[in-house]
A and B are shown apart, each in its own frame.
Chain A
Amino acid sequence: MKTVRLLTLTSLFAASTALAHTMNVLPSHYVQSKTGGFVTVDLFASNMTFQADKGVGVEGFKVVLPDGSIAKPTAAVQGKRKSMADVELTVAGTYRLEMGGQPRYFTSYKVGGEQKRLMGDKQKAAKELPKDATDVVTTQGRNRALAFVTVNGPTDTVLKTTGQGLEFSFDRHPADIVAGEAVTATLTLNGKPVEGIKADLSFDGELYRNDPARQHLVTDKAGKFSFTPANAGRYLLEASAEAPLKSDKADKMREGFTLSFEAALP
Chain B
Amino acid sequence: MASLSLKKHFLRKTVVPFLVAMFVLVMLIWGMGYSLRQSQADSILEYRVNVAGLSFSAYLDRAEFEAKYLAQQVSNDGSLDSLFQLHDVLFFGGLDFFYITLADDEPLEDPRARLYTNDSLSYLARSARLNYWRHISTADGAELLVYKKPLQPNEQSRVQGYLYGFVSLNNNLALSSDLMSGAQVDYMELSSVSGKMLLSDQLPAFDETSRAIEYTGILELPTLEDKLTIKVKMARPFSESLEQNVLINAALVLICLMVLFWIVMHNAYRWMFSPLQHLTNHNHDAKQQANFEEFLPVQQQMNHFEALLKARDQHFHLLLDSLNCAILFCDESARLTAINQESKAVFPDYMIAKTIFDMTPIAFHQPIQRALKGLYDDGFEIELPELGKIYQWHTYSFINEFGFRSVMLVGRDISEVRHLRWQLTNILPRHTIDRPYPDSHIVLNELDILHRSHDEHCISPQYWLLLIGHLLKQISQAAQSASEFETLGEFVMAQQEELAQLAVEGERYGLVDYDISMDAAQVKANWTSDHKVLIQLALVLCMTDSILTRRLTMKWEKSGLLIRIVGVGKVSPAMKWMLQEFPKLVRGHAIIEEGCVTIFTSLSVEAKSETAPLTHTGQRLALIENDFDAAGYCSSALLALGAKVDRFLSFEEFLSSDRALGVEYDAVIVAVGDQHSARKGVERLRSINPDTQVPLFYICERHTNCRDGQIVYAHQLMRYRLAQVINETVSEHKINLRRWLSTSSNWLIVGGSNISQIIWLSELQSQGIVGRREQDLEVLLEGGLAHAALSVVLVLDQASAQRLQPLVVANPQIHWLVLEDFAERPATMTYFNVQGQPPNSELVQQLIQRFDDKKG
| Pairing of A with B | no
Give A contacts to B, CB under 8 Å: none
